[in-house]
C-alpha cells in the first residue's frame, strides 16, 4: 500500500553518514537531530542526493523527543537557498528503540516529500534507515553510501 512512495533512494556520502551518526553519538544521552539539504527533481520532489547534512540543536534536550532549533532551520533554509537546493529531510536518533518511525514521528511529520532518517543507537552498531511518511503511511527508502 505504501510502496508507491518508497522512493527516491537516499544517497549519502560516507562523510555525510559519518556526520549524521557521529552527531547522534555526540548528543547522547539525548536524541540528536539535523536537517538534510539537497536538490529537487523536475517533479518538485527530492532526487535522493544530499548536498549537506547539517547537525542541529535539539531544543528539547531530551532522550525521548526532539525539536529542531528553529534558528538552525532558518540557517539551513538560507544555506539551501544559496545552493539552489531545499531542505529535503530530517534525521534524528532513537537512543533505545528501533530505527523505525514512532507514532509521534508519524503524527508530527512535516512534509510528505521529505526523507525521514532515523538512527538507532540501541545496539552496539548504529542502524540508519530512511523513510517517507504520508498521513499514516510509512514507506522505507533504500539508502546507498557513496565515496566522498
Partner 1 sequence: MAVEIKLPTVLRAQADGQATVSMDGATVGEAFNALVARYPGLRGNLLDDSGSLHKFVNVYKDDDDIRYLDGLDTKLGDGDVLSILPAVAGGV
Q: How many residues bind partner 1 (CB under 8 A)?
A: 34
Alpha carbon distance 126, 108 (integer Å): 24
Burial bucket for residue 4 (CB in 10 Å: 0-12, 13-18, 19+): exposed
Residue (11 or 57) nearer to partner 1, CB:
57
Interface with partner 1 includes 108 (CB under 8 A)? yes
Return the residue of 86, 121, 130, 132 that touches partner 1, per CB under 8 A: 86
- CA-based nearest residue to 24, from 52, 48, 50, 58: 58
By CB under 8 A, residue 47 contacts partner 1: no
Q: Is residue 85 within the footprint of partner 1 (CB under 8 A)? A: no
Measured between alpha carbons, how far is 14 from 4 in angstroms, rounded to an integer? 28
Cα 51 to Cα 12: distance, rounded to the nearest angstrom:
9
Question: Smaller CB distance to partner 1: residue 21 or 72?
Answer: 72
Sole binder of partner 1 in the list 12, 20, 24, 33 (CB under 8 A): 33
* DSSP string across 3-25: GGG--S-EEEEHHHHHHHHHHHH
83 binds partner 1 (CB under 8 A): no
Kindly state whether residue 31 participates in binding partner 1, applying the rule CB under 8 A.
yes
Q: What is the DSSP string of 113-140?
A: TSEEEEEE-SSSS-EEEEEEEETTEEEE
Of the candidate residues 101, 115, 117, 128, the single one contacting partner 1 (CB under 8 A): 101
Q: Which residues bind partner 1 (CB under 8 A)?
A: 31, 33, 35, 40, 44, 60, 62, 64-68, 70-71, 73-74, 77, 86-87, 90, 92, 94, 96-97, 101-102, 104-105, 108-113
Amino acid at each position: 500500500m505504501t510502496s508507491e512512495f518508497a522512493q527516491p533512494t537516499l544517497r549519502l556520502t560516507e562523510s555525510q553518514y559519518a556526520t549524521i551518526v557521529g552527531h547522534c553519538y555526540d548528543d547522547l544521552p539525548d536524541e540528536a537531530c539535523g536537517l538534510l539539504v539537497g536538490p529537487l527533481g523536475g517533479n518538485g520532489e527530492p532526487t535522493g542526493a544530499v548536498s549537506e547534512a547539517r547537525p542541529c540543536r535539539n531544543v528539547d534536550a531530551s532522550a525521548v523527543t526532539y525539536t529542531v532549533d528553529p534558528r538552525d532551520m532558518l540557517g539551513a533554509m538560507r544555506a539551501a537557498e544559496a545552493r539552489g537546493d531545499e531542505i529535503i529531510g530530517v534525521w534524528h536518533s532513537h537512543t533505545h528503540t528501533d530505527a523505525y518511525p514512532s507514532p509521534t514521528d508519524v503524527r508530527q511529520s512535516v512534509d510528505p516529500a521529505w526523507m525521514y532518517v532515523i538512527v538507532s543507537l540501541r545496539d552496539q552498531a548504529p542502524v540508519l534507515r530512511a523513510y517517507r511518511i504520508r498521513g499514516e503511511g510509512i514507506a522505507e527508502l533504500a539508502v546507498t553510501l557513496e565515496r566522498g
